[in-house]
């Protein structure tokens, strides 16, 4: 049975059959891959979803054009507008000169029996040279338009992605996002080129040739030309609409294969740990075969379209030539030169008509590739500043900088998905006084990390309010709020760059002395000095070349360099060995002095110095107090403390300390 036929979709109401569960249990080491049942990348399209992918609505096309036009006709750059006008004018001139080619052919052939047509041969040579120079001129003039459009769309996409909320990034696969932005940005440029230099010139040439045929050879040839163009165009549009559905589905399948490949490369170590290379290869192969199967259907429809277009062009040409030959042989109204001129003119019409089919297919392809990008650009950020938002004010009446307080006032918050709403915090209230430290402890899922995400305003509260120095964070700019907060996260992700770059990210204008001081205080300077490249040591993608402890110390160093008035430590020493943890904890205790500090902790031994400890459980604050106070009441905190005190990890740690 094919994997794609056994996929359980996330929104399906069907239950997993017991036989499938038994299959999973019984085939862990077998040749089949039942685990693929649960992969979102193996999701197949329903008929309804396929219909949705078939064609863009006029509303979508209008939206795509509104997105495209500003990149072509830049409001802020007159030079870009001038270049667009010059490019279009050069195309018009090129087509006008191209209309002279059949006239030159006619005169050369008609003059040949009597004399050598030197003047017409010279005219033809000059014409070819001028046309070539016009085309090269167009390329040179238009290139900055392309570069400007590509730069602007990439920057706008970059800004949009960073403006979207954390929930968007947690739900979006990085492979799909990169593919959407890359294909969409190039689709914008390609679509501009197709419209300006394929579609527009084709219509210009059709009109010019039709008018010339009417004026020079009568309305019959003009009518044959117009009728052929209409039949050819209608056929092209209809069959392209039909075949475009296969292109859309192929795009979807290609995205699935890209997601699998991207996830596999990103999770390289996990694959090695579980010896899953062959499993992932098999899953990737299925996705590729699915994509190539759909893509082959698109190729066959392309061949059918080309055959139909060639047939219409052949019939139109034969009809025109037959009538012209009759005129030439029957009553000698036309010369041999006229016959050649008419043939050349008809061919000049059908040559760009071939491009009409290709242009239309290209336009629809680019529309398809742009759709996801336009959807992305049209997304509204979940979190945005209010129109009159003010910067966070951390100064007193004398203008001196003060330490801020943090106040959660009856805060409730739920994570919302398409199918469920999970309440995390329910009426949570606490206050961190300026310069004091408060720790949050509790079981996994109690809402500890949610608290600091709300404080950074990655989410907005459902009820209540979050205040920093008595200022509601909804009323202040996100930039000024986050500039005042330094975070050392539990899972540190570093840029694929040097150690110096990653530490300096905390303060982009930092001096070398400040970098060294931050590294020393974070206890990572000895490691840096022992590395051959020192501060220029590359950390690898996501920091994979460093150990967990080294990555954490880099994160601590860049937060120290930022020197924020509010400090958030999210399991900041969880990845460190006991000896390093003691050193780092001493540094963190020292750094926390003079700052308003919020600590999220799993190891309770790291927070016994805190001014207050809050125990979160089931979305509420179950207990609060100092370390000694909470131990004395023998509640949740005391249970957690005793569990950690008697855990094997803690016993081993004490032995290491000895």
- Residue 420 backbone dihedrals phi, psi, to 5 degrees: -155, 160
Q: Collect all residues with Cβ–Cβ distance below 8 Å to 255 and sequence separation of at least 6.
A: 175, 176, 179
449-483 burial, b for 16+ CB within 10 Å, e for fewer? Answer: bbbbbbbbbbbebeebebbbbebebbebbbebbbe
pLDDT tens figures, 473-520: 999 999 999 999 988 887 777 888 888 998 988 888 888 899 999 888
What's the Rg (C-alpha) of the chain?
35
Map residue 441 onto helix, strand or coil.
strand
The tokens of 126 are what?
Answer: 């000059």
Q: What is the pLDDT of residue 305?
A: 79
Within 10 A of 396 (CB to CB), how many other CB atoms are there?
A: 9
Percentage above 70 pLDDT, the chain: 83
Give the integer Cα–Cα distance in Å for 113 and 126. Answer: 24
Q: Domains of the chain by range and CATH?
A: 3-40 (no CATH), 60-378 (1.20.1560.10), 398-484+599-658 (3.40.50.300)
Helix (H, G, I), strand (E, B) or coil at 498: strand
Largest CA-CA distance found in the chain, in angstroms, rounded = 121
- pLDDT computed for residue 344 by the predictor: 81
In this prediction, residue 261 carries a pLDDT of 85
- Kindly list the distances between the CA atom of residue 437 and the CA atoms of 372, 467, 612, 614, in Å, as whole numbers in the listed order: 45, 16, 7, 11
SS3 564: coil
CA distance 197 to 135: 10
* pLDDT given at position 33: 43
pLDDT score for 216 = 80
Cβ atoms of 620 and 556 within 8 Å: the answer is no
Whose CA is closest to 430, among 620, 631, 640, 636?
Answer: 620
Q: Decide: helix, strand or coil at residue 539.
A: coil
User: For the chain, which residues score pLDDT lower than 50?
Assistant: 1-33, 37-38, 47-49, 51-54, 651-658
What is the Cα–Cα distance from 356 to 199, expressed in whole angstroms? Answer: 6
Q: 381 near 457, Cβ under 8 Å?
A: no
Helix (H, G, I), strand (E, B) or coil at 487: strand
Give Cβ neighbours of residue 578 (< 8 Å, ≥ 6 apart): 653, 656, 657
- Residue labelled with tokens 């969880």: 574
Please name the residues in contact with 177: beta carbons below 8 A apart, sequence gap of 6 or more: 161
Report the alpha-carbon distance of residue 536 to residue 529 in Å, rounded.
10
Find, among 617, 282, 578, the residue nearest to 428 by Cα.
Answer: 617
pLDDT at 59: 67
What is the per-residue pLDDT for 244?
A: 72
Q: Helix or strand or coil: residue 507? A: coil
pTM score: 0.67
**What's the length of the chain?**
658
């Amino acid at each position: 049975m094919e994997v794609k036929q056994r996929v359980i979709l996330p929104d399906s109401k069907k239950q997993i059959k017991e036989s499938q569960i038994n299959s999973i249990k019984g085939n862990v080491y077998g040749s089949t891959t039942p685990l693929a049942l649960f992969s979102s990348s193996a999701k197949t399209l329903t008929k309804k979803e396929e219909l949705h992918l078939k064609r863009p609505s006029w509303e979508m096309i209008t939206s795509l054009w509104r997105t495209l036009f500003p990149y072509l006709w830049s409001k802020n750059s007159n030079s870009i507008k001038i270049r667009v006008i010059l490019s279009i004018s050069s195309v018009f001139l090129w087509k006008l000169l191209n209309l002279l080619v059949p006239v030159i052919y006619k005169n050369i052939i008609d003059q040949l029996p009597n004399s050598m047509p030197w003047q017409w041969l010279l005219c033809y040579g000059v014409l070819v040279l001028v046309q070539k120079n016009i085309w090269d001129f167009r390329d040179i003039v238009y290139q900055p338009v392309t570069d400007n459009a590509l730069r602007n769309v990439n920057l706008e996409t970059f800004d949009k992605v960073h403006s979207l909320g954390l929930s968007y990034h947690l739900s979006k696969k990085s492979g799909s996002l990169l593919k959407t932005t890359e294909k969409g940005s190039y689709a914008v440029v390609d679509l501009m080129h197709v419209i300006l230099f394929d579609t527009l010139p084709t219509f210009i040439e059709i009109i010019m040739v039709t008018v010339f045929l009417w004026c020079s050879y009568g309305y019959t040839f003009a009518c044959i030309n117009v009728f052929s163009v209409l039949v050819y165009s209608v056929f092209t549009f209809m069959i392209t609409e039909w075949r475009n559905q296969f292109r859309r589905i192929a795009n979807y399948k290609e995205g699935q294969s890209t997601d699998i490949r991207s996830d596999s490369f990103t999770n390289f170590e996990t694959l090695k740990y579980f010896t899953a290379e062959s499993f992932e290869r098999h899953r990737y192969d299925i996705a590729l075969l699915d994509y190539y199967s759909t893509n082959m259907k698109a190729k066959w429809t392309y061949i059918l379209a080309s055959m139909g277009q060639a047939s219409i062009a052949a019939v139109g040409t034969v009809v025109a030539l037959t009538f012209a030959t009759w005129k030439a042989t029957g009553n000698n109204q036309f010369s041999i030169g006229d016959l050649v001129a008419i043939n050349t003119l008809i061919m000049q019409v059908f040559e760009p008509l071939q491009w009409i089919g290709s242009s239309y297919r290209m336009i629809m392809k680019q529309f398809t590739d742009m759709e996801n990008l336009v959807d992305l650009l049209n997304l509204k950020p979940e979190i945005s500043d209010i129109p009159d938002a003010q910067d966070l004010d951390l100064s007193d009446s004398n203008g001196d900088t003060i330490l801020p307080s943090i106040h959660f006032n009856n805060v409730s918050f739920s994570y919302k998905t398409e199918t469920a709403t999970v309440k995390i915090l329910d009426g949570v209230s606490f206050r961190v006084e300026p310069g004091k430290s408060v720790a949050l402890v509790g079981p996994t899922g109690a809402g500890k990390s949610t608290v600091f995400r709300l404080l950074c305003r990655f989410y907005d509260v459902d009820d209540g309010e979050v205040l920093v120095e008595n200022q509601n964070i909804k009323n202040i700019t996100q930039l000024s709020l986050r500039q005042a907060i330094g975070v050392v996260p539990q899972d540190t992700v570093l840029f694929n760059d040097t150690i110096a770059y990653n530490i300096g990210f905390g303060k982009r204008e930092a001096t070398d002395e400040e970098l060294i001081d931050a590294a020393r205080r974070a206890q990572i300077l000895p490691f840096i000095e022992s590395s051959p490249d020192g501060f220029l040591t590359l950390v690898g993608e996501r920091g994979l070349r460093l150990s967990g402890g080294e990555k954490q110390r880099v994160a601590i160093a860049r937060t120290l360099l930022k020197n924020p008035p509010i400090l958030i430590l999210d399991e900041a020493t969880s990845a460190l060995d006991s000896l390093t943890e003691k050193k780092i904890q001493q540094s963190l205790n020292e750094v926390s002095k003079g700052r308003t500090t919020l600590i999220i902790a799993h190891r309770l031994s790291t927070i016994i110095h805190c001014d207050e400890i809050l125990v979160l459980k089931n979305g509420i604050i179950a207990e609060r107090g100092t370390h000694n106070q909470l131990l004395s009441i023998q509640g949740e905190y005391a249970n957690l403390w005793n569990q950690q005190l008697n855990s094997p990890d803690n016993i081993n740690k004490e032995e290491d300390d000895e």
